[in-house]
Amino acid sequence: MAISVSVHEDTEHPEIAKAYAKLLQDWKRTSLLPSVFGRDGMWELNSRTRDSQIYKLHIRLSDEMPWKKHKPQIDRVSNNYLVYTQHWLDNGRYQVISIMSPNAHELARTSFLAELERRAEQFQNA
C-alpha cells in the first residue's frame, strides 16, 4: 500500500511539521520507529476526535535528547505532540494537523481541540 503524509496549511511550526511528516511517512512505510517518536494513539477524549480519526504522537524535538532505542514506545512520553489524522477511506493517506509544543498537555485541555477537529475534517472531506 502506498503511504503519503501531507501537512495542513495551518499547522504550527511548519518547518518542524515538514521534517516530522517525512519521519511519519517512513515509519508508516517501514515500521521502523524513529528515536524521536514516542507513544502513539487515537485521541479518545470525545466522540468528535475519534470520528475525525485524530491521533497524537509524543515527540522529542531537535533540541532534546532522543529516546534510547531500548525504551518501549508506550513509555516514551513528552509534553510535545505531533497530531495527525488518517483518511477514513484511504488508510494510506495521513496529514499532520498540528505540532503542539510547548505544553501540549495543557493545550489539549483548551478549545484548541475544536481547531484540530476542523483541520481533520477538512482533510477527511477533501
pLDDT in tens, 71-116: 999 999 999 999 999 999 999 999 999 999 999 999 988 889 999 9
Specify the pLDDT at position 126: 87
Specify the pLDDT at position 62: 92
pLDDT tier at 13, thresholds 50, 70, 90: very high
Residue 45 has pLDDT above 90, yes or no: no
Contact status, residue 16 vs residue 61, Cβ threshold 8 Å: yes
Alpha carbons 118 and 7: distance in angstroms, whole number: 14
pLDDT digits (tens, 9 = 90+) for 19-34: 999 999 999 999 999 9
Alpha carbons 100 and 55: distance in angstroms, whole number: 12
Contact status, residue 55 vs residue 38, Cβ threshold 8 Å: no
